[in-house]
Protein backbone atom coordinates (compact mmCIF):
# COMPACT_ATOMS: atom_id res chain seq x y z
CA UNK A 1 0.00 0.00 0.00
CA UNK A 2 1.37 3.35 -1.10
CA UNK A 3 1.29 6.37 1.26
CA UNK A 4 -1.74 8.55 0.46
CA UNK A 5 0.37 11.69 0.65
CA UNK A 6 2.31 10.64 -2.47
CA UNK A 7 -0.51 12.18 -4.54
CA UNK A 8 0.45 15.57 -3.10
CA UNK A 9 4.10 15.12 -4.09
CA UNK A 10 3.00 14.16 -7.59
CA UNK A 11 1.05 17.38 -8.06
CA UNK A 12 3.75 19.54 -6.48
CA UNK A 13 5.13 20.69 -9.86
CA UNK A 14 1.70 21.89 -10.99
CA UNK A 15 1.13 23.71 -7.71
CA UNK A 16 4.56 25.23 -7.96
CA UNK A 17 3.71 26.85 -11.29
CA UNK A 18 0.59 28.42 -9.77
CA UNK A 19 2.62 29.70 -6.82
CA UNK A 20 5.28 31.10 -9.15
CA UNK A 21 2.65 32.98 -11.15
CA UNK A 22 1.25 34.55 -7.94
CA UNK A 23 4.75 35.42 -6.75
CA UNK A 24 5.56 37.13 -10.03
CA UNK A 25 2.26 38.99 -10.13
CA UNK A 26 3.14 40.52 -6.78
CA UNK A 27 6.52 41.66 -8.17
CA UNK A 28 8.64 38.74 -6.91
CA UNK A 29 11.56 37.34 -8.88
CA UNK A 30 12.36 33.76 -9.86
CA UNK A 31 15.88 32.33 -10.13
CA UNK A 32 16.57 29.34 -12.39
CA UNK A 33 19.18 27.02 -10.90
CA UNK A 34 20.89 23.89 -12.25
CA UNK A 35 22.95 22.41 -9.53
CA UNK A 36 23.35 21.44 -5.87
CA UNK A 37 26.10 24.05 -5.56
CA UNK A 38 23.52 26.86 -5.85
CA UNK A 39 23.03 28.32 -2.33
CA UNK A 40 19.25 28.54 -2.39
CA UNK A 41 19.11 30.04 1.13
CA UNK A 42 20.76 33.16 -0.26
CA UNK A 43 18.33 33.30 -3.19
CA UNK A 44 15.33 33.04 -0.86
CA UNK A 45 16.79 35.63 1.52
CA UNK A 46 16.79 38.03 -1.44
CA UNK A 47 13.03 37.41 -1.83
CA UNK A 48 13.43 35.33 -5.00
CA UNK A 49 12.25 31.74 -5.50
CA UNK A 50 14.82 29.25 -6.78
CA UNK A 51 13.55 26.60 -9.23
CA UNK A 52 15.51 23.74 -10.75
CA UNK A 53 15.77 23.88 -14.53
CA UNK A 54 17.80 20.70 -14.94
CA UNK A 55 16.66 19.11 -18.24
CA UNK A 56 15.47 15.53 -17.82
CA UNK A 57 13.65 14.85 -21.08
CA UNK A 58 14.82 13.94 -24.55
CA UNK A 59 12.36 16.14 -26.48
CA UNK A 60 14.36 19.41 -26.58
CA UNK A 61 17.74 17.77 -27.31
CA UNK A 62 17.53 17.98 -31.12
CA UNK A 63 17.01 21.75 -30.88
CA UNK A 64 20.04 22.04 -28.60
CA UNK A 65 22.18 20.06 -31.05
CA UNK A 66 21.76 22.83 -33.63
CA UNK A 67 24.21 24.77 -31.47
CA UNK A 68 25.84 22.32 -29.08
CA UNK A 69 27.92 19.31 -30.18
CA UNK A 70 25.98 16.01 -30.16
CA UNK A 71 28.67 14.34 -28.03
CA UNK A 72 27.74 16.27 -24.90
CA UNK A 73 25.88 14.91 -21.88
CA UNK A 74 22.08 14.72 -22.39
CA UNK A 75 21.43 16.70 -19.20
CA UNK A 76 23.27 19.72 -20.61
CA UNK A 77 21.66 19.39 -24.04
CA UNK A 78 18.18 18.94 -22.58
CA UNK A 79 18.63 21.94 -20.27
CA UNK A 80 19.87 24.14 -23.11
CA UNK A 81 17.22 22.77 -25.47
CA UNK A 82 14.46 23.89 -23.11
CA UNK A 83 16.01 27.36 -23.03
CA UNK A 84 16.25 27.80 -26.80
CA UNK A 85 12.82 26.33 -27.52
CA UNK A 86 11.17 28.16 -24.61
CA UNK A 87 9.17 25.02 -23.83
CA UNK A 88 9.78 24.80 -20.08
CA UNK A 89 7.35 26.91 -18.01
CA UNK A 90 9.92 27.07 -15.19
CA UNK A 91 12.53 28.50 -17.56
CA UNK A 92 9.95 30.96 -18.90
CA UNK A 93 9.16 32.05 -15.33
CA UNK A 94 12.83 32.57 -14.43
CA UNK A 95 13.97 36.18 -14.37
CA UNK A 96 17.63 35.23 -14.16
CA UNK A 97 19.83 32.15 -14.07
CA UNK A 98 22.45 30.98 -11.59
CA UNK A 99 25.17 28.74 -12.98
CA UNK A 100 28.35 27.28 -11.56
CA UNK A 101 31.59 26.20 -13.24
CA UNK A 102 31.13 22.52 -12.41
CA UNK A 103 31.91 20.37 -15.47
CA UNK A 104 33.38 21.75 -18.70
CA UNK A 105 30.29 21.14 -20.84
CA UNK A 106 27.99 22.90 -18.44
CA UNK A 107 30.16 25.95 -17.88
CA UNK A 108 30.62 26.50 -21.63
CA UNK A 109 26.88 25.97 -22.22
CA UNK A 110 26.21 28.71 -19.67
CA UNK A 111 28.14 31.17 -21.87
CA UNK A 112 25.51 30.59 -24.56
CA UNK A 113 22.57 30.53 -22.17
CA UNK A 114 23.69 33.94 -20.89
CA UNK A 115 22.57 35.32 -24.27
CA UNK A 116 18.98 34.32 -23.47
CA UNK A 117 18.56 35.47 -19.85
CA UNK A 118 20.71 37.38 -17.33
CA UNK A 119 23.10 34.76 -15.97
CA UNK A 120 25.42 34.82 -12.99
CA UNK A 121 28.21 32.26 -13.01
CA UNK A 122 29.74 31.22 -9.71
CA UNK A 123 33.36 30.10 -10.13
CA UNK A 124 33.88 26.90 -8.21
CA UNK A 125 37.25 25.79 -6.81
CA UNK A 126 37.68 22.05 -7.30
CA UNK A 127 39.45 21.18 -4.07
CA UNK A 128 37.58 21.10 -0.78
CA UNK A 129 40.61 20.41 1.39
CA UNK A 130 42.60 23.64 1.14
CA UNK A 131 41.92 26.89 2.97
CA UNK A 132 42.39 29.13 -0.04
CA UNK A 133 39.64 27.23 -1.91
CA UNK A 134 37.22 28.10 0.88
CA UNK A 135 38.35 31.75 0.86
CA UNK A 136 37.78 31.89 -2.89
CA UNK A 137 34.31 30.28 -2.62
CA UNK A 138 33.43 32.71 0.18
CA UNK A 139 34.25 35.57 -2.19
CA UNK A 140 31.95 33.93 -4.75
CA UNK A 141 29.13 33.96 -2.16
CA UNK A 142 29.69 37.71 -1.68
CA UNK A 143 29.64 38.24 -5.45
CA UNK A 144 26.40 36.25 -5.69
CA UNK A 145 24.84 38.27 -2.88
CA UNK A 146 25.60 41.48 -4.82
CA UNK A 147 24.10 40.02 -8.00
CA UNK A 148 20.93 38.88 -6.21
CA UNK A 149 20.45 42.26 -4.55
CA UNK A 150 20.84 43.99 -7.88
CA UNK A 151 18.42 41.66 -9.67
CA UNK A 152 15.75 41.69 -6.99
CA UNK A 153 16.19 45.24 -5.66
CA UNK A 154 16.01 43.61 -2.22
CA UNK A 155 18.80 43.93 0.37
CA UNK A 156 19.68 40.61 1.99
CA UNK A 157 19.32 40.95 5.77
CA UNK A 158 21.38 38.72 8.05
CA UNK A 159 18.34 37.74 10.13
CA UNK A 160 16.38 36.66 7.08
CA UNK A 161 19.37 34.70 5.75
CA UNK A 162 19.69 32.92 9.10
CA UNK A 163 15.97 32.11 9.02
CA UNK A 164 16.32 30.62 5.55
CA UNK A 165 19.38 28.62 6.64
CA UNK A 166 17.40 27.11 9.54
CA UNK A 167 14.45 26.27 7.31
CA UNK A 168 16.62 24.65 4.64
CA UNK A 169 18.48 22.67 7.33
CA UNK A 170 15.16 21.44 8.67
CA UNK A 171 14.17 20.22 5.19
CA UNK A 172 17.53 18.43 4.89
CA UNK A 173 16.99 16.71 8.27
CA UNK A 174 13.50 15.58 7.22
CA UNK A 175 14.75 14.24 3.88
CA UNK A 176 17.57 12.37 5.58
CA UNK A 177 15.09 10.91 8.06
CA UNK A 178 12.77 9.78 5.27
CA UNK A 179 15.65 8.18 3.40
CA UNK A 180 16.49 6.21 6.56
CA UNK A 181 13.13 4.37 6.39
CA UNK A 182 14.61 2.40 3.50
CA UNK A 183 17.20 0.94 5.87
CA UNK A 184 14.42 -1.17 7.43
CA UNK A 185 13.28 -4.57 6.17
CA UNK A 186 9.73 -3.44 5.53
CA UNK A 187 8.90 0.03 4.32
CA UNK A 188 5.98 1.12 2.17
CA UNK A 189 7.93 3.39 -0.21
CA UNK A 190 9.44 2.32 -3.53
CA UNK A 191 12.67 3.80 -4.89
CA UNK A 192 10.68 5.63 -7.58
CA UNK A 193 8.43 7.18 -4.93
CA UNK A 194 11.50 8.12 -2.93
CA UNK A 195 12.83 9.86 -6.04
CA UNK A 196 9.58 11.82 -6.41
CA UNK A 197 9.70 12.94 -2.77
CA UNK A 198 13.34 14.01 -3.02
CA UNK A 199 12.97 15.64 -6.42
CA UNK A 200 10.15 17.89 -5.20
CA UNK A 201 12.72 19.77 -3.11
CA UNK A 202 14.09 21.49 -6.20
CA UNK A 203 10.81 22.73 -7.64
CA UNK A 204 8.75 23.72 -4.60
CA UNK A 205 8.10 27.42 -4.09
CA UNK A 206 7.06 27.25 -0.48
CA UNK A 207 9.69 25.47 1.58
CA UNK A 208 7.57 25.57 4.74
CA UNK A 209 4.70 23.84 2.93
CA UNK A 210 7.15 21.26 1.63
CA UNK A 211 8.39 20.62 5.18
CA UNK A 212 4.75 20.08 6.24
CA UNK A 213 4.30 17.49 3.45
CA UNK A 214 7.50 15.73 4.53
CA UNK A 215 6.27 15.54 8.13
CA UNK A 216 2.94 14.12 6.94
CA UNK A 217 4.82 11.51 4.92
CA UNK A 218 6.84 10.57 8.01
CA UNK A 219 3.60 10.10 9.99
CA UNK A 220 2.22 7.82 7.28
CA UNK A 221 5.45 5.87 6.99
CA UNK A 222 5.48 5.36 10.76
CA UNK A 223 1.89 4.09 10.72
CA UNK A 224 2.37 1.81 7.71
CA UNK A 225 5.64 0.44 9.06
CA UNK A 226 4.01 -0.24 12.45
CA UNK A 227 1.28 -2.15 10.61
CA UNK A 228 3.99 -4.17 8.83
CA UNK A 229 2.98 -2.90 5.37
CA UNK A 230 5.80 -3.21 2.86
CA UNK A 231 6.27 -2.24 -0.75
CA UNK A 232 8.90 -4.92 -1.09
CA UNK A 233 8.68 -8.40 -2.41
CA UNK A 234 10.22 -10.97 -0.11
CA UNK A 235 13.93 -11.32 -0.89
CA UNK A 236 14.08 -8.51 -3.50
CA UNK A 237 17.73 -7.43 -3.87
CA UNK A 238 18.47 -4.17 -2.04
CA UNK A 239 20.12 -1.74 -4.47
CA UNK A 240 21.91 1.57 -4.25
CA UNK A 241 21.87 3.90 -7.24
CA UNK A 242 24.74 6.34 -7.57
CA UNK A 243 26.12 8.54 -10.36
CA UNK A 244 24.64 11.31 -12.48
CA UNK A 245 21.39 13.08 -11.55
CA UNK A 246 18.26 11.26 -12.81
CA UNK A 247 14.66 12.26 -12.26
CA UNK A 248 11.20 12.15 -13.75
CA UNK A 249 11.75 11.83 -17.50
CA UNK A 250 15.30 10.49 -17.18
CA UNK A 251 14.41 7.66 -14.81
CA UNK A 252 14.55 4.70 -17.20
CA UNK A 253 17.35 3.00 -15.26
CA UNK A 254 15.48 3.39 -11.94
CA UNK A 255 12.34 2.00 -13.51
CA UNK A 256 14.20 -0.99 -14.90
CA UNK A 257 15.92 -1.68 -11.57
CA UNK A 258 12.52 -1.99 -9.88
CA UNK A 259 10.65 -3.59 -12.81
CA UNK A 260 13.30 -6.34 -12.98
CA UNK A 261 12.68 -7.21 -9.34
CA UNK A 262 15.16 -5.11 -7.37
CA UNK A 263 14.32 -2.50 -4.76
CA UNK A 264 16.20 0.80 -4.65
CA UNK A 265 16.90 1.40 -0.98
CA UNK A 266 19.15 4.38 -1.51
CA UNK A 267 19.59 7.11 -4.10
CA UNK A 268 23.04 8.63 -3.79
CA UNK A 269 22.75 11.25 -6.51
CA UNK A 270 21.75 14.89 -6.74
CA UNK A 271 18.08 14.09 -7.19
CA UNK A 272 18.41 11.82 -4.17
CA UNK A 273 20.18 12.19 -0.85
CA UNK A 274 23.49 13.74 -1.98
CA UNK A 275 24.27 16.72 0.23
CA UNK A 276 21.26 16.31 2.51
CA UNK A 277 23.51 15.20 5.38
CA UNK A 278 25.46 18.47 5.14
CA UNK A 279 23.97 21.24 7.27
CA UNK A 280 24.86 24.94 7.28
CA UNK A 281 26.10 26.23 10.64
CA UNK A 282 23.07 28.12 11.97
CA UNK A 283 24.61 30.57 14.42
CA UNK A 284 27.75 31.50 12.51
CA UNK A 285 28.89 35.11 12.88
CA UNK A 286 29.24 35.24 9.08
CA UNK A 287 26.45 33.25 7.41
CA UNK A 288 28.04 33.69 3.99
CA UNK A 289 31.15 31.97 5.28
CA UNK A 290 28.95 29.20 6.73
CA UNK A 291 27.21 28.77 3.36
CA UNK A 292 30.58 28.64 1.57
CA UNK A 293 31.85 26.01 3.96
CA UNK A 294 28.80 23.76 3.58
CA UNK A 295 28.36 24.03 -0.18
CA UNK A 296 32.04 23.38 -0.89
CA UNK A 297 31.64 19.92 0.64
CA UNK A 298 29.06 18.83 -1.99
CA UNK A 299 30.33 15.40 -3.10
CA UNK A 300 30.16 15.94 -6.87
CA UNK A 301 32.54 14.24 -9.29
CA UNK A 302 33.70 17.63 -10.57
CA UNK A 303 35.63 17.98 -7.28
CA UNK A 304 39.08 16.52 -6.96
CA UNK A 305 39.74 14.68 -4.78
CA UNK A 306 36.12 13.64 -4.10
CA UNK A 307 36.54 11.56 -0.97
CA UNK A 308 33.20 12.78 0.41
CA UNK A 309 31.31 10.79 -2.24
CA UNK A 310 33.08 7.60 -1.19
CA UNK A 311 32.29 8.32 2.44
CA UNK A 312 28.61 8.93 1.67
CA UNK A 313 28.38 5.71 -0.36
CA UNK A 314 30.08 3.85 2.49
CA UNK A 315 27.51 5.14 5.00
CA UNK A 316 24.58 4.33 2.73
CA UNK A 317 25.76 0.84 1.75
CA UNK A 318 26.34 -0.14 5.36
CA UNK A 319 23.26 1.47 6.93
CA UNK A 320 20.87 0.34 4.20
CA UNK A 321 22.37 -3.16 3.96
CA UNK A 322 22.83 -2.77 0.21
CA UNK A 323 23.38 -5.93 -1.82
CA UNK A 324 24.34 -4.39 -5.17
CA UNK A 325 25.42 -0.98 -6.52
CA UNK A 326 24.37 0.53 -9.87
CA UNK A 327 26.43 3.48 -11.09
CA UNK A 328 24.66 5.55 -13.75
CA UNK A 329 26.72 7.74 -16.08
CA UNK A 330 25.16 9.91 -18.75
CA UNK A 331 27.04 9.59 -22.03
CA UNK A 332 29.92 12.08 -22.30
CA UNK A 333 29.92 12.87 -18.58
CA UNK A 334 33.65 12.46 -18.13
CA UNK A 335 33.89 13.17 -14.43
CA UNK A 336 31.34 10.53 -13.33
CA UNK A 337 32.65 8.14 -15.97
CA UNK A 338 36.24 8.31 -14.73
CA UNK A 339 35.16 8.23 -11.08
CA UNK A 340 33.24 5.01 -11.70
CA UNK A 341 36.53 3.12 -11.42
CA UNK A 342 37.06 4.10 -7.78
CA UNK A 343 33.43 3.41 -6.90
CA UNK A 344 33.73 -0.08 -8.40
CA UNK A 345 36.97 -0.63 -6.52
CA UNK A 346 35.33 0.44 -3.24
CA UNK A 347 32.22 -1.69 -3.73
CA UNK A 348 34.07 -4.83 -4.82
CA UNK A 349 37.06 -4.66 -2.50
CA UNK A 350 35.42 -3.39 0.66
CA UNK A 351 32.16 -5.36 0.62
CA UNK A 352 32.63 -7.84 -2.24
CA UNK A 353 29.29 -6.70 -3.65
CA UNK A 354 28.13 -6.84 -7.29
CA UNK A 355 28.65 -3.55 -9.17
CA UNK A 356 27.08 -2.46 -12.45
CA UNK A 357 28.21 0.57 -14.41
CA UNK A 358 25.63 1.82 -16.92
CA UNK A 359 26.48 4.45 -19.50
CA UNK A 360 23.45 5.66 -21.41
CA UNK A 361 21.50 8.71 -22.57
CA UNK A 362 17.89 9.92 -22.43
CA UNK A 363 16.63 7.90 -25.40
CA UNK A 364 14.65 4.68 -25.04
CA UNK A 365 16.67 2.94 -27.78
CA UNK A 366 18.76 0.81 -25.38
CA UNK A 367 15.97 0.01 -22.90
CA UNK A 368 15.72 -3.70 -23.73
CA UNK A 369 19.50 -4.10 -23.78
CA UNK A 370 19.65 -2.44 -20.34
CA UNK A 371 16.85 -4.67 -19.10
CA UNK A 372 18.89 -7.76 -20.03
CA UNK A 373 21.98 -6.40 -18.25
CA UNK A 374 20.02 -5.46 -15.12
CA UNK A 375 18.25 -8.83 -15.00
CA UNK A 376 21.62 -10.61 -15.23
CA UNK A 377 22.99 -8.31 -12.50
CA UNK A 378 20.06 -9.06 -10.19
CA UNK A 379 20.57 -12.78 -10.69
CA UNK A 380 23.97 -12.39 -9.01
CA UNK A 381 22.06 -11.54 -5.80
CA UNK A 382 19.38 -14.20 -5.96
Closest to ligand SF4 by CB, 267 vs 378, is 267
**Rounded CA separation 246/271 (Å):** 6
3-state secondary structure 346-357: HHHHHHCCCEEE
Nearest distance from residue 297's CB to ligand SF4, in Å? 11
* Residue 102: CB minimum distance to ligand SF4, A: 4
CA 314 – CA 357 distance, rounded (Å): 17
CB closer to ligand SF4 out of 168 and 230: 168
What are φ and ψ of residue 321, in 5° steps?
45, 55
Minimum gap (Å) between residue 335 Cβ and ligand SF4: 5
Nearer to ligand SF4, 253 or 378 (CB): 253
Output the smallest distance, CB 38 to ligand SF4, in A.
8
**Closer residue to ligand SF4, CB minimum distance, 16 or 298:** 298
Render 70-134 in DSSP notation, one character per residue.
SSS-HHHHHHHHHHHHT--HHHHH-SEEEEE--SHHHHHHHHHHTTTS-EEEEPPPS-SSSHHHH
Q: Minimum Å distance from CB 202 to ligand SF4?
A: 10
Q: What are phi and psi of 25, to 5 degrees?
A: -60, -30
Residue 261 Cα to chain centre, angstroms: 25
Residue from 309, 288, 175, 191 nearest 242 by CA: 309
Q: Which C-beta is closer to ligand SF4: that of 151 or that of 271?
A: 271
Q: How far is the CB of 36 from ligand SF4 (least distance, A)?
A: 4
Name residues whose C-beta falls within 8 Å of residue 349's C-beta, 6 or more positions apart in sequence: none
Please report, as ranges, the residues that interact with ligand SF4 according to CB under 6 A.
35-37, 73, 75-76, 102-103, 105-106, 244-245, 270, 298, 300, 302, 330, 333, 335-336
* Phi/psi of residue 322, nearest 5 degrees: -70, 140
Closer CB to ligand SF4, 323 or 340, in the complex: 340
**Residue closer to ligand SF4 (CB basis): 35 or 68:** 35
Q: In angstroms, what is the minimal distance from the CB of 270 to ligand SF4?
A: 3
Question: At its nearest, how many Å lie between ligand SF4 and the CB of residue 7?
Answer: 28
DSSP for residue 183: G
Q: For residues 346 and 325, give the distance between their C-alpha atoms in angstroms, rounded to a whole number.
A: 11
Strands (E), 162-299: 238-243, 263-268
**Between 238 and 252, CB nearer to ligand SF4:** 252
Amino acid sequence: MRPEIMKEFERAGELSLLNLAEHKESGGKVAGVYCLFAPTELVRAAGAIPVSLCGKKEAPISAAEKTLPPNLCPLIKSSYGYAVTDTCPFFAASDFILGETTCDGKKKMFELMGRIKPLHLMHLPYDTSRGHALDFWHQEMIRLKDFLEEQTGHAIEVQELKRQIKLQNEVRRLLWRISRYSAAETIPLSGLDMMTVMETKSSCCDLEAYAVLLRQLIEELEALSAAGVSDRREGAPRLLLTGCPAGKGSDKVLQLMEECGGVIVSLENCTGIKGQNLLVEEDAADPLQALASRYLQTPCSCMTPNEERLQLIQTLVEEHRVQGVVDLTWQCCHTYNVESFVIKELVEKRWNLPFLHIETDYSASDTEQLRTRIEAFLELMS
